Structure 1
Amino acid sequence: MRVVTFGYQTWGYRTLQALIDSDHEVVLSVTHPASEHAYKSLWSDSVEDLAKGNDIDVHITERVDRETIDKVAAAAPDVIVVNSWYTWMPAELYNLPPHGTLNLHDSLLPKFAGFSPVLWAVISGHTHTGLTVHRMDEELDAGDILVQRSIEIRPTDTAPALVEMTMDLIPDVLKEALAELEAGTATWTPQDPAERTFFHKRSESDSLIDWRLPAEDLERFVRALADPYPNAYTFYRGQRLRIVDAAVAKVRYGGTAGRVFVREGDGMAVVVGPDSFRGHNLGLLIKKVRTDDDTVHVATDFLARGGFFASTVDRSQR
């Protein structure tokens, strides 16, 4: 089949590569221009470079405009395949090919529609994530499902590792989806709106630690924001501090949430959780921290003086 791709970053790159390696013909690749934005510079394999290196026509644009639609129409695709496209696509475009438009979304839809689904899945304590191929329609990530694969989220998995795992699924799910379309055997499963969860874009402030949460939630939060993502952060003695490695403590600690308390094993225990003054909550064990000069410190050394972690720089002066 003749395929047009819309994609960006490593997700778009892996999708284009899978199609290049397939029996299908990529007749046009549409991508966004390179960006220095903090998030967009992560997972930054270039769709443009891959397309040009394989003599595929490339169209670079921030958003779909009249020129984009005309270029796609001229390419006469049988199907459009989308993975990691940041701006709105009109019905005139996604309904243009005979087989419509397939979107690849790295969650088990209808759960975790929207943005940063793998990170939110780890943060929320979900047990599985995965990859879904669905039909694009007027509502974001809500179209009928064609193919879906699941990945277990294990207790030590980081979000970046899971992102890699979901991207590894791209060739197989695309092969299956396109084969079914071509053979006329595609079975579409409508999403249940009652099961849908939709998550917003993440910003810097979303990585600020709330020490009133339970230790289990905070451990997942740190693990979700593992390198290369900007790590979960707090404030300590007047400076921002990123938490690189943490675990749930073995001991229950009481007092004020955010109090850097005592050494436990290879980390420093912090009082955390709701009603922390009651002493019912397991602490969070901080093992490694990163200062804004990008230096990673062993927590038992850096936090040896104790004190408070805080949610604002003012309180961190305590």
Structure 2
Amino acid sequence: MRVVMFGYQTWGHRTLKALLDSEHDVATVVTHPKSEHAYEKIWSDSVAELAEEHGIPVVIRNRPDDEELFDLLKSADPDIIVANNWRTWIPPRIYGLPRHGTLNIHDSLLPKYAGFSPIIWAMINGESEVGVTAHLMDEVLDAGDIVEQRAVAVEPTDTATDLFHKTVALIAPVAIGALARIAAGETEFTKQDRSQATFFHKRSEKDIHVNWDWPAEVLERLVRAQSAPYPAAFTFHKGKRLEILAAVVSEGRYGGTPGRIFYREDDGVVIVAGADARTGRNHGLAITRVRTEDGSELPATEYFTSLGGYLTSRP
């Protein structure tokens, strides 16, 4: 089939590479300009550079809603648009232009985790698996019929970085598998159960700020979800920002006030956690490695030279 590709960052790059390695003909590529947003500088393989290396025309847009782009797409005469990690709304006259519509590749197991940063949100929420979905685009974001979907398990020690690599590896088989079904003439695909749909916003500084009222199990997943190269989860100690690079759920149960620097356990320093920590029924978060404001990384047992005091939400 003749394809126009909309995409950005590594997700779009892998999608374009899969198309280039397939039997399909890529006529035009539409991508975003480079961004200074913290999360958009991560996994930033260039879609434009890959297209240019293969002599494919490239169009740079923040939004695909101008007449010049619409005319270019009509001239390209695509059988289908394939999109992955396109960051703004695609209007109906664009996604409905090709003969087979638009196939969107999304890095979650839709209908759950539509929207942004699905892997990180899924890890924080303790999901047992993540994956990639190819669906036909309609007027509701990430809500169209599912053509192809594959899942991978979330292992107990996985980080968001691990899950990124696992899910990126699914892009090619999901995208090319979906195109094969469409090219073969299939038109009936799986409706999404909208009662199960969830939709998440972009992550920001506030989302990585540790809330000691959360249970230790959730905080431990937050730390793994903010693994390098993502910005690390952070708190404040004695008025200074302290990033938590590694932590585990404590073996013991510790009572008191959330945020209290309480006890040494193995290689960690346990922080009291959970809104109901006063009951003494909660595990704490045993921090094992930190990074200070000056960029120094060290074991938590070396950083916390004495116990007592609190980790706080403000300087």
Fold shared, TM-score > 0.5 on shorter chain: yes
2:87 aligns to what? Answer: 86
**Length-normalised TM-score, structure 1:** 0.96
* Distance across 2 between alignment mates of 1:16 and 1:148: 18
Residues 39-86 of structure 1 show CA distances to partners (whole Å, capped at 9, x for unaligned) of 111101001110001111100111112222111111111100000111
* Distance across 1 between alignment mates of 2:230 and 2:162: 11
How many residues align? The count is 313
* Distance across 1 between alignment mates of 2:300 and 2:80: 53
* Distance across 2 between alignment mates of 1:183 and 1:120: 35
User: Given residue 143 of structure 2, which amino acid in structure 1 is its aligned partner?
Assistant: A
1:308 aligns to what? Answer: 310
Aligned counterparts, 1:80-229, within 5 A: 80-229=81-230
* Distance across 2 between alignment mates of 1:304 and 1:186: 65
* Distance across 1 between alignment mates of 2:36 and 2:294: 20
Is the 8 Å Cα contact of residues 104 and 132 (structure 1) preserved in structure 2? Answer: yes
Identity rate, percent? 54
Is the 8 Å Cα contact of residues 249 and 285 (structure 1) preserved in structure 2? Answer: yes
Moved more, 267-276 or 16-25: 267-276
* Distance across 2 between alignment mates of 1:293 and 1:42: 22
User: Given residue 292 of structure 2, which amino acid in structure 1 is its aligned partner?
Assistant: T
Residues 4-50 of structure 1 show CA distances to partners (whole Å, capped at 9, x for unaligned) of 00000000101001101111111000001112221111101001110
* Distance across 2 between alignment mates of 1:294 and 1:77: 50
* Distance across 2 between alignment mates of 1:275 and 1:121: 24
Is the 8 Å Cα contact of residues 239 and 314 (structure 2) preserved in structure 1? Answer: no
Q: SS of the residue aligned with 1:99?
A: coil
User: Given residue 59 of structure 2, which amino acid in structure 1 is its aligned partner?
Assistant: H
* Distance across 1 between alignment mates of 2:279 and 2:102: 55
User: Given residue 225 of structure 1, which amino acid in structure 2 is its aligned partner?
Assistant: Q
2:23 aligns to what? Answer: 23
Residues 138-171 of structure 1 show CA distances to partners (whole Å, capped at 9, x for unaligned) of 1110011000001111111111211111110111
* Distance across 1 between alignment mates of 2:244 and 2:188: 45
Residues 257-290 of structure 1 show CA distances to partners (whole Å, capped at 9, x for unaligned) of 1011121100111111122122111111000011
Q: SS of the residue aligned with 2:246?
A: strand
User: Given residue 113 of structure 1, which amino acid in structure 2 is its aligned partner?
Assistant: A
Q: CA deviation at 1:292?
A: 2.9
1:276 aligns to what? Answer: 277
* Distance across 1 between alignment mates of 2:254 and 2:70: 60
User: Given residue 145 of structure 2, which amino acid in structure 1 is its aligned partner?
Assistant: D
* Distance across 1 between alignment mates of 2:286 and 2:141: 39
User: Given residue 12 of structure 1, which amino acid in structure 2 is its aligned partner?
Assistant: G
Is the 8 Å Cα contact of residues 267 and 299 (structure 1) preserved in structure 2? Answer: yes
Q: CA deviation at 1:107?
A: 0.7
Is the 8 Å Cα contact of residues 146 and 186 (structure 1) preserved in structure 2? Answer: no
Residues 181-210 of structure 1 show CA distances to partners (whole Å, capped at 9, x for unaligned) of 111035411111111111122111011111
Q: Which runs of 5+ in 2 are unaligned?
A: none
Is the 8 Å Cα contact of residues 225 and 231 (structure 1) preserved in structure 2? Answer: yes
Q: Which runs of 5+ in 1 are unaligned?
A: 314-318
1:40 aligns to what? Answer: 40
Over the aligned positions, Cα root-mean-square deviation in angstroms equals 1.0
The runs of at least 4 consecutive aligned structure 1 residues that moved more than 4 Å come to none
Q: SS of the residue aligned with 1:169?
A: helix
2:232 aligns to what? Answer: 231
Q: SS of the residue aligned with 2:139?
A: coil
Moved more, 48-57 or 63-72: 63-72
* Distance across 1 between alignment mates of 2:186 and 2:95: 21
Residues 192-237 of structure 1 show CA distances to partners (whole Å, capped at 9, x for unaligned) of 1111111122111011111111111111111111111101110011
* Distance across 2 between alignment mates of 1:292 and 1:12: 34
Q: CA deviation at 1:256?
A: 1.2
1:316 aligns to what? Answer: none
Is the 8 Å Cα contact of residues 130 and 151 (structure 2) preserved in structure 1? Answer: yes
